[in-house]
Amino acid sequence: MPVQAPAGSGKPPDPRPRGVLAEVAGYAQDFMAADRPVRARDPRRLAELLGGPLPVAGHPELATVQRLLIAGEFGVPGSGAARGPGGASGAASGGAPPLGLAADWLTGVWNQCDARHDLGTLFAAAEEVCERWLVELLGLPAGTAMGLTSCRVTANLVCLAAAREHQLRRAGWAVNEQGLSAAPPLTVLVGEEAQVSVLRCLRLLGLGGAIRRVQTDDGGRMAVPHLRDLAQAAPAGLIVCGQVGSATCGSVDPLRAIAEVTHAHGGWLHLDGAFGLWAAASSRHRPLLDGAGQADSWTCDSHMWLDTPYDSGLAFCARPEPLRRAVGLHAEFAPGAGHTCRDPLDHRVELSQRARSLTLWALLHHLGRQGVADLVDRNCAAARRLAVRLAAEPGVEVLVPVRLNQLLLGIGDEAHTRAVVERLDSEGTCWVTPTRWRGHGAVRLSVRGRGAVGTAVEPVAAAFLAAHRAERRARR
């Protein structure tokens, strides 16, 4: 059967029979070109399309692909690269530009494991180049090692494992051989607004009981006086986790002051960069990250701002040896002592994984240093414009000054906030997510993408304000 073109594309179904690769390629062309609304999901219809018993005899390849494409109409929000009008959404959601998708297809076509240089020479070479490019672009210390991981969670896991290894080794403890049961104590200081992925990784590393919370100011930034007090009271073996771009409000911790306190007490500073670390590429926004280069490790996502396809965490470590001791693999089948090539498996926890370097290389090669900087600058300017537009409306408050591309809005009580979010979701004009801030309900917006520039955010503002006003009228 022919595949239906995406809603709004204006194209009739293509009646020509095609192979599965051509079918998907044709659909992809239409999907990427279409103005995609933020569609509501339909779990019941998805269960009908994807569920039922496992087929006995199976189905033809083309029929299987077509079933997936139909299911996409009921399960893919449509906010991918477009993220609704103006490139704004409630989270740093996915979406890849055509170049990123094309490089990802090539990765799948070649389908090589990139764990070692000799297994995936092309991918290992591209990863090594990306390491050099990104260390320079983000202003990290020369010699910093990079690992490409499945997501920022595993990137944080890699970096914090290196931090644990380094701090315990300084105390005379080899955690790989001696374990944790009798290890010297560590103290991990994290801000009250720390992203949950950091906490999750600390628990996985057996450090959940070592976590101490540092107070934050009204802007969600770590309070340095409280950090200093906790660091002074901590025994040897300090790890501090700072934040470069809060997922809730976009705030950046006072990085230079945090680095000075951490290193004055012999600590390891890890920075969860999420999307915010990319601001270092912009001369205009780099001052917000003053002191970031003094950290010992960093993480970020390349799907945030670069829009690489998902599965794209980045782990950076200024101390390659603790990183290799913590996560490097030395198996019998690995190359011997004479092997001098850089192996990706020494910089991450995954072994048999899909190669990730080609999409990253392709987008960096295409954008260049200036292209990345322009993308950051345009999105941040659009976020500020959107904030001004929304803050002029009675009942709407920008809760934290917009530093990067995140907006945190207060629009009323919990019931009103929930109603506005649900209305926007059902209308398909833009997608926002509810959150909590200082004990109260709030709304989060992230402005990203090549289309999120200048007046392009006006449809987002109009849709948001229309929903806000409609719900206020309904409650009178």
Query: Cα–Cα distance between 471 and 476 in angstroms, integer?
Result: 9
Q: Name the pTM for this structure.
A: 0.89
Q: How far is CA 437 from CA 37, 386, 416, 442, in A?
A: 29, 20, 15, 6
Predicted confidence band at 94 (pLDDT cuts at 50, 70, 90)?
low
- Residue 1 token pair: 């059967």
Domain boundaries, the chain: 1-75, 102-361, 368-474
pLDDT tens digits for range 194-228: 999 999 999 999 999 999 999 999 999 999 999 99
pLDDT at 90 over 70: no
Burial class for 16, CB neighbours closer than 10 Å (0-12, 13-18, 19+): exposed
pLDDT at 153 over 90: yes
pLDDT at 284 over 90: yes
- More reliable by pLDDT, 126 or 352: 126
Q: Which residues of 243-282 are buried (b: 16+ CB within 10 A; e: fewer)?
A: bbbbbbbbbbbbbebbbbbbbebebbbbbbbbbbbbbbbb
**Architecture, CATH, for domain 368-474:** Alpha-Beta Complex (3.90)
pLDDT tens digits for range 439-471: 899 999 998 877 666 677 888 899 999 999 999
Query: Cα–Cα distance between 186 and 182 in angstroms, integer?
Result: 12
pLDDT tens digits for range 4-34: 554 544 555 555 556 899 999 999 988 888 7
Q: How far is CA 415 from CA 40, 55, 407, 422, 434, in A?
A: 21, 45, 20, 11, 11
Cα-trace Rg, the chain:
24
Q: What is the pLDDT of residue 349?
A: 86
- More reliable by pLDDT, 102 or 427: 102
Closest among 364, 267, 317 to 140, alpha carbons compared: 317
User: What angle do the packed helices 320-327 and 152-170 form, to 10 degrees?
Assistant: 110
Q: Please state which CATH number belongs to domain 102-361.
A: 3.40.640.10
| Residue 406, H or E segment | strand 406-410
Give percent of the chain above pLDDT 90: 67
Query: Cα–Cα distance between 419 and 421 in angstroms, integer?
Result: 5
Q: Stretch 281-300: mean pLDDT, rounded?
A: 98
Cα angle for residues 89, 299, 438 (degrees, 5° grid): 55
